[in-house]
Amino acid sequence: MLPISRGVARYAPTVYDRGMKLFLDTANVDQVKEVAAWGVLDGVTTNPSLVLKEGHDFKKTVLAMCKHVPCVSAQVTATDFAGMKKQGEEYASWHKNVYVKVPMTTEGLKALHYFRSKGIRTNTTLIFSAAQALLAAKAGANIISPFIGRLDDIGEDGMGLIAEIMEIWHQYDFDCEVLVASTRHPVHIVKAATLGAHICTIPYEIFKKLPLHPLTDIGLQKFLKDWQGVKK
Ligand code: E4P
């Protein structure tokens, strides 16, 4: 069976190709449990704003999520290399499913390089350009997260950035997955898959919309109504 992308490691071999990985962008454990039960969830991304919104202990939240998915991003809040190293090593010691989330700065690049040498997996956050994506991958990131919604918010083309990054990725053999972050609506998820992105992280409210279509509801109601008239 062909890999999803050259050089990009997959979490666990399966008997079928699961395509683009779907992550939940949340710090709410109940939401993770609910969507994981659908059989479609591959990971979770958290960030300090999401953790603040839920108001629960960070370590307990991350550990609870690690029971449900093989990849949970936990963001460092230090801004210098030494602080990121200390925090990241601590997070990685909590559970094998933890990915240390590192901001896209020059200190962050040093941290990505260090973590790669130690076998600690990382996700680079706050990517807004192809140059940043390239540097993070070269430094050793396992995942890069371009934020498309925030680019759209300032009148730039978020999905255009994903197209550019995927074109670059097709030229090389980076062991680094492209995660489409800051998604705002279901079309973002479909477009990300069309471009062959490896991962897409999705807020709970949008994830809940993905299985829905009004014609499915109307069709099901009719089937159930007609079944009442079937002679048994
Ligand atoms: C990704 O890891 C981030 O947590 C997230 O996608 C940011 O999205 P926002 O722009 O909606 O805050």
Residue nearest atom 6 of ligand 1, based on CA coordinates: 182
Pick the residue whose CA is nearest to atom 11 on ligand 1.
182
Pocket flag, ligand 1, residue 42 (CB < 6 Å): no
Q: Rounded to two decimals, what is the model's pTM?
A: 0.92
Active site residue 101: yes
Among all chains, which residue has been given the structure tokens 């479609």? 40
Question: Exposure pattern of 171-208 as b/e (b: 16+ CB <10 Å)?
Answer: eeebebbbbbbbbeeeebbebbeebbbbbbbbbeebbe
Position 14 in a domain: no
Mean pLDDT by 10 residues, the chain (232 residues): 45 63 97 96 95 93 96 97 98 98 98 98 98 98 98 98 97 96 97 97 98 98 95 79
Q: What is the CATH number of the domain that holds 82?
A: 3.20.20.70
Distance 108 CA to ligand 1 centre (A): 18
Rounded CA-CA distance 1/17 in Å is 8
Q: Residue 144 falls within a domain, yes or no?
A: yes
Note the pLDDT of residue 4: 44
Domain contains 219: yes
Matching residue, tokens 């909590």: 94
Q: Which atom of ligand 1 is nearest to the CA of 125?
A: 2
Rounded (10°) CA dihedral 127, 164, 205, 101: -30
Q: Is the CB of 25 under 6 A from ligand 1?
A: yes
Instruction: Give the model's pLDDT for residue 17.
Output: 73
User: Which residue lies with its CA nearest to atom 9 of ligand 1?
Assistant: 182
Residue 5: inside a domain, yes or no?
no
- pLDDT at res. 232: 76
Q: Among 69, 38, 87, which Cα is nearest to 61's? A: 69
Domain containing residue 103: 21-231
Decide if 152 is inside a domain.
yes
The answer to whether residue 28 sits within a structural domain is yes
Please give the tally of structural domains in the chain. 1
Question: What is the chain's length?
Answer: 232
Whether 101 and 62 have beta carbons less than 8 Å apart is answered as no
Q: Examine residue 34 and state whether it is found in any structural domain, yes or no.
A: yes
Name the closest-CA residue to atom 8, ligand 1. Answer: 182
User: 122 lies in a domain?
Assistant: yes
Catalytic residue chosen out of the listed positions 21, 85, 101, 191:
101
- Determine if ligand 1 sits within 6 Å of the CB of residue 184: no
Of 67, 61, 42, 31, nearest in space to 143 by CA: 42
